Chain A
Amino acid sequence: MDAQQRVAFDYPSIVANLLTVGMVAVDRRFAIVVWNRFMELNSNIRSEEVLGKNLFEVFPELNRNWLEKKIKSCLVLKTPSFSSWRQRPYLFRFKASPVLAGEAEFMYQDVSIFPIHDESCTVQGACVVIHDMTELANAVRLLDQTQDRALDLEELNQRDSLTGIYNRKFFDEQITQGVLSSRRHNWPLSMAMIDIDHFKLINDTYGHPGGDMVLRHLAARLQSMLRASDTFCRYGGEEFALILPHVAQHDARSLLDRLRLAIENLVIDLPDGGQVSVTVSVGVAQLQEGQTSGHLVSCADEALYESKHAGRNRVSCYPIAK
Chain B
Amino acid sequence: MTDSLSGESLFTEDEGDLLGEVVNIAMGRAGAALAEAFSGFVNLRVPEIRAVNASIIGEARARLEHAYDRISIMHQEFFGELAGHIAVIFGPASYAALRNVLGFDDRDGDGRRQREELLLELGNALASTCVSGISSQLEMRTGLRAPRVVAFDAPARDAVQRLFGDLPVWSGKTLQIDIVFHLEEHDVPFELVITVSPECLSSMKRELSRRVMG
Could you tell me the distance between the alpha carbons of A270 and B114 in the complex, rounded to whole angstroms?
A: 51
Q: Is the CB of A87 within 8 A of B116?
A: yes
Of A41-49, A78-86, A200-208, which stretch is located at the interface?
A: A78-86
Q: Is the CB of B128 within 8 A of A80?
A: yes
Contact with B along A61-103 (1 / 0, CB 8 A): 0000110011011001111111110111000000000000000
Given A66-B108, A87-B120, CB of A82 within 8 Å of CB of B146? yes
Given A65-B107, A76-B37, CB of A88 within 8 Å of CB of B121? no
Could you tell me the distance between the alpha carbons of A79 and B126 in the complex, rounded to whole angstroms?
A: 10
Q: Between A and B, how many residue pairs show CB distances below 8 Å?
A: 55
Interface of A is mostly: mixed
Q: Is the CB of B148 within 8 A of A77?
A: no
Given A65-B107, A87-B120, A110-B146, CB of A77 within 8 Å of CB of B113? no
Q: Does B101 contact A (CB under 8 A)?
A: no
Residue positions of B touching A, CB distance < 8 A: 33-34, 36-38, 103, 105, 107-108, 113-114, 116-117, 120-121, 124-125, 128-129, 132, 144, 146-149
Given A66-B108, A112-B146, CB of A72 within 8 Å of CB of B37? yes
Q: Is the CB of A84 within 8 A of B148?
A: yes
Q: Is the CB of A88 within 8 A of B113?
A: yes
Residues of A close to B147: CB separation below 8 A? 82
Residues of A close to B148: CB separation below 8 A? 84
Q: Is the CB of A77 within 8 A of B34?
A: yes
Residue positions of A touching B, CB distance < 8 A: 65-66, 69-70, 72-73, 76-84, 86-88, 110, 112
Q: Is the CB of A80 within 8 A of B125?
A: no
- Closest 5 pairs between A and B when the two form their complex, measured CB to CB: A79-B128, A76-B37, A82-B146, A73-B37, A87-B117
Q: Is the CB of B37 within 8 A of A77?
A: yes
Q: Is the CB of B144 within 8 A of A80?
A: yes
Q: Can you name 12 extra interface pairs (CB under 8 A) apart from A65-B107, A82-B147?
A: A65-B105, A65-B108, A73-B121, A77-B33, A77-B34, A79-B124, A79-B144, A80-B128, A80-B144, A82-B120, A86-B116, A86-B149
Q: Is the CB of B144 within 8 A of A88?
A: no
Given A65-B105, A73-B37, CB of A81 within 8 Å of CB of B117? no
Q: 11 interchain pairs (CB within 8 A)? A: A65-B105, A65-B108, A66-B108, A73-B38, A77-B129, A78-B33, A81-B121, A82-B120, A86-B113, A87-B117, A110-B146
Could you tell me the distance between the alpha carbons of A112 and B116 in the complex, rounded to whole angstroms?
A: 17
CB B197 to nearest CB in A, in angstroms, measures 20
Residues of A close to B114: CB separation below 8 A? 87
CB A77 to nearest CB in B, in angstroms, measures 5
CB B87 to nearest CB in A, in angstroms, measures 16
Please name the residue on chain B nearest to A81 by beta carbon: B124
Instruction: Identify B120's interface contact among A73, A77, A84, A112, CB under 8 A.
Output: A84
Please name the residue on chain A nearest to B105 by beta carbon: A65
Given A72-B37, A76-B37, A77-B34, CB of A88 within 8 Å of CB of B129? no
Residues of B close to A81: CB separation below 8 A? 121, 124-125
CB B152 to nearest CB in A, in angstroms, measures 11
Residues of A close to B132: CB separation below 8 A? 78-79
Could you tell me the distance between the alpha carbons of A79 and B130 in the complex, rounded to whole angstroms?
A: 10
Q: Is the CB of B107 within 8 A of A77?
A: no
Q: Is the CB of A82 within 8 A of B124?
A: yes
Could you tell me the distance between the alpha carbons of A237 and B111 in the complex, rounded to whole angstroms?
A: 48
Please name the residue on chain B nearest to A84 by beta carbon: B146
Could you tell me the distance between the alpha carbons of A69 and B117 in the complex, rounded to whole angstroms?
A: 13
Q: Is the CB of A83 within 8 A of B129?
A: no
Please name the residue on chain A nearest to B113 by beta carbon: A87
Please name the residue on chain A nearest to B132 by beta carbon: A79
Residues of B close to A76: CB separation below 8 A? 33, 36-37
Could you tell me the distance between the alpha carbons of A99 and B6 in the complex, rounded to whole angstroms?
A: 59
Residues of A close to B149: CB separation below 8 A? 86
CB A270 to nearest CB in B, in angstroms, measures 46
Could you tell me the distance between the alpha carbons of A43 and B21 in the complex, rounded to whole angstroms?
A: 50
Could you tell me the distance between the alpha carbons of A100 and B40 in the complex, rounded to whole angstroms?
A: 43
Please name the residue on chain A nearest to B128 by beta carbon: A79
